[in-house]
Amino acid sequence: MRIQAKLITLIVSLAVLFFAILSLYQFMKKRAVVEIFKNQLEEKKDNFNSVVNLGGIPLESYINDYTGDEMVRFLEKPDKEWAHTNIYAGLNSLYLNAAWVYSPDRYLVYSVNNLNDEKLQTVPLPKEAFDRIRERKKFCHFFVDTPHGLMEICAATIYPSSDPAKKEQPRGYFVAGKLWDSAYMNFISRLTDTSLEIVLSKENLPKTLNDPEMGVIYFLKPLRTWNHSEIANIKVKVSSPTVRTINRAIRVDFILFLFFITIMLGSSLFYVAYWILSPLFTISLALKESAPIHLMSLITLKNEFGDISRLIDDFFKQKEEIKKAYDELKDTQSQLIQAEKMKVIGTLASGLAHEVRNPLGIIMLGIDLLEQDIGPDKVEWRDTLSKMRDGAERANKIVVGMLNFSRQSTVNPQAVNLINTIEKSLNLVANKMNLANVKIIKELKSANPIVYVDENQIEQVFTNLFLNALDAMPAEGGTLTIRLLNKRFEELQNGVGRKVTELFQPEDAALTCEVEDTGTGIPPAIINKIFDPFFTTKPPGTGVGLGLSVVRKIIDSNKGLINVESQLGKGSRFIITLPLFKEEK
């Protein structure tokens, strides 16, 4: 896994961890809030119930007023006048709506209401309800449904004060009712700081009405009939500013934490990218491309990346030095090998020349002698002798070639006009060139053609090169171009086995001569071997393979460079660089 990926994974993991911690913290807080909420819910319920009970007190005191001796007397002798001034007046002053008086055998004795409703002449209760009222020693509270809405009913039995324990039969029943109309609902609502709604059926209500998040509390207050069954519910909605405040605080906390974490992780991501990944990328690029130049911006740093960059830079410098040393060693080695080869060939050549040319001398003189003795009629003998002479001459030519090759180390350099030398060599081969239909193009207008070389040797170089070019030309002929160019040090090209810097100084100028043919070209596989002694592509008997090795040796001895460029089927170009003549020499 790349460091980049690892670091990003680390940061992402940290982000996830932080987020998890934050979520856990949120969860805990919310649980606490729910706890607070629940407490508040109970508190509000109690509060609401107390208020509702409080609202029921006038009803109870009203009932209390009219279940004593006065009512016993009224039941014994009903006085409408009295009932109107007492019961009816009390009803209005206490904001109640209806009152009924029943005899012990549950016949209506007196009924009054301020709703002008005929239907409320009798109490909207079945007879059995009176049993329940009787069972209760004190008040009996419940709700009934009326055309005007829900009505809270309070009822009690009527006893004389002489029977405080209510052991005898009751003398009657007193029932009073109060409508839960919108005015009363508003009153309770205001008193309890709630909003109320009467719900007749619970089926349409959602399961949980509470919304702890918004601090809204709902609860249902059931309203029951005389036999305790639910007739309706009041949906109570209470707002809890405490819960809302706490919730808002938690939300603010969350946003602040999130902001903080984002800033923290974002800045660490930036830090990782800018201070770690960017230098790592630079170092990796420098190593990949082997280009310490990329490290320039890091090398001056005083941190670990600076240390690493300096080490890498040193490493590259050392590598460069080692490579240079290795190249020099290789050059020296190949030069030594070359020199040793030349020495061996030289020794071999002189030995061979002595051992071969002496017998050749005998053979050739002998042939001459025999030829003189043989009469002109002996044609076959003369032919044989002629062939023997050819053979001996061929053998001699090979030895001469080797001898020449071994002989080129002694140089007598002088100021030479290279144009003249080239012209001399061209004269030697001009006839052959003509016969082979080779066109010669001379581009010899050099600004300074005076070089410091051994003229005879350089003439041999050109002769060899021209003859090679001639041999390379196709049967239909071709073009030989000879081009002289004065070149500055930095324009010079390394030669075979020799570098420009070995022979020339930056202030030196040189003369370059290009010999270009339109011949068959040199296959790439052998182009490195053509300057080796005895390497030849000519058929046996036509060459020994010393021509180009002699050329190279002469150029080497004359402190020059030789190089070759070739394209198969198009031709070859030999490039010779020679030192210019300097007055102080």
Partner 1 sequence: MDKKKILTIDDEKDFTRILKMSLEKTGKYEVTTESESKNAFDLAKKLKPDLIFLDILMPGLNGFQVLDLLKKDKETVDIPVVMLTAALTDEIKTEVIKHLDKCSYMEKPVTISMLEDKIVKMLST
By the criterion CB under 8 A, which residues form the site for partner 1? 346, 349-351, 353-358, 360-366, 368-369, 372, 392, 396, 403, 406-407, 409-410
Q: How far is the CB of 332 from partner 1 (least distance, A)?
A: 25
Asked whether the beta carbons of 237 and 218 are under 8 A apart, the reply is yes
The residue (of 361 and 569) whose beta carbon lies closer to partner 1 is 361
Please say which residue, 70 or 371, places its beta carbon nearer to partner 1: 371
Q: Would you list the DSSP string of 61-80?
A: HHHHHTSSHHHHHHHHS--H
CB of 451 to partner 1, least distance (A): 23
Secondary structure in 3-state letters for 126-139: CCHHHHHHHHCCCC
Nearer to partner 1, 353 or 485 (CB): 353
The residue among 577, 361, 425, 393 whose CA lies nearest residue 488 is 577
Closest by CA to 237, choosing from 185, 160, 272, 273, is: 185
Instruction: Tell me how far apart the alpha carbons of residues 180 and 183 are, in angstroms, rounded to a whole number.
Output: 8
User: Length of the chain, please?
Assistant: 585
Closer residue to partner 1 in complex, CB, 64/404? 404
Q: How far is the CB of 316 from partner 1 (least distance, A)?
A: 48
CB atoms within 10 A of CB 514: 17
Give least dist CB 395 to partner 1, A.
9
In the bound complex, what is the minimum distance in angstroms from residue 455's beta carbon to partner 1? Answer: 16
Cα separation of 314 and 292, whole Å?
Answer: 9
Looking up tokens 């603010």, which residue turns up? 252
Tell me how far, at minimum, the Cβ of 431 lies from partner 1, in Å: 24
Strands 195-199 and 230-239: antiparallel
Nearer to partner 1 by Cβ, of 144 and 544: the residue is: 544
Phi, psi of 540 (to 5 degrees): -55, 140
User: What is the closest distance, in whole angstroms, from the C-beta atom of residue 349 to partner 1 in the complex?
Assistant: 8
Nearest CB to partner 1, comparing residues 458 and 561: 458
CA distance linking residue 90 with residue 94, whole number of Å: 6
39, with CB counted inside 10 A (0-12, 13-18, 19+), is exposed
Give, rounded to a whole angstrom, the gap between the first and last alpha carbons of the chain.
Answer: 68
Closer CB to partner 1, 346 or 571, in the complex: 346
Among residues 150 and 342, whose Cβ is nearest to partner 1?
342
Of residues 192, 189, 246, the one with CA closest to residue 47: 192
Q: How far is the CB of 355 from partner 1 (least distance, A)?
A: 8
Residue 453 beta carbon to partner 1: minimum distance, rounded to whole angstroms: 18
Spatial distance between the Cα atoms of 553 and 460, rounded to a whole number of angstroms: 11
Complete edge-to-edge strand list for the sheet that includes strand 438-443: 438-443, 478-488, 509-517, 571-579, 561-567
Nearer to partner 1, 354 or 538 (CB): 354
> Which residue, 310 or 407, has its beta carbon nearer to partner 1?
407
Structure tokens at 247: 């919730």
Q: Which among 337, 479, 342 is positioned nearest to 405, based on CA atoms?
A: 342
Q: Which of residues 114 and 396 has its CB atom nearest to partner 1 in the complex?
A: 396
- How many whole angstroms separate alpha carbon 114 and alpha carbon 259? 66
Min dist. Cβ of residue 350 to partner 1 (A): 4
DSSP 542: S
Q: Which is nearer to partner 1, 78 or 366 (CB)?
A: 366
Nearest to 560 by CA among 504, 508, 521: 504
In the bound complex, what is the minimum distance in angstroms from residue 509's beta carbon to partner 1? 31
Nearest to 569 by CA among 524, 525, 518, 527: 518
- Cβ proximity to partner 1: between 269 and 400 the closer is 400
What are phi and psi for residue 181, nearest 5 degrees? -85, 180
SS (H, E, C) 186-216: HHHHHHHCCEEEEECCCCCCCCCCCECCCCE
CA 393: distance to chain centroid?
A: 80
Instruction: Supply the angle between the helices 379-407 and 547-557 in degrees, to the nearest 10.
Output: 30
Single-letter amino acid, residue 20: A
Q: How far is the CB of 412 from partner 1 (least distance, A)?
A: 10
CB of 546 to partner 1, least distance (A): 15
Minimum distance from residue 393 beta carbon to partner 1 (Å)? 8
Which CB, 328 or 368, lies closer to partner 1? 368
What gap in Å lies between CA 320 and CA 464, rounded to an integer? Answer: 40
Residue (of 419, 426, 417, 512) closest to 469 by Cα position: 426
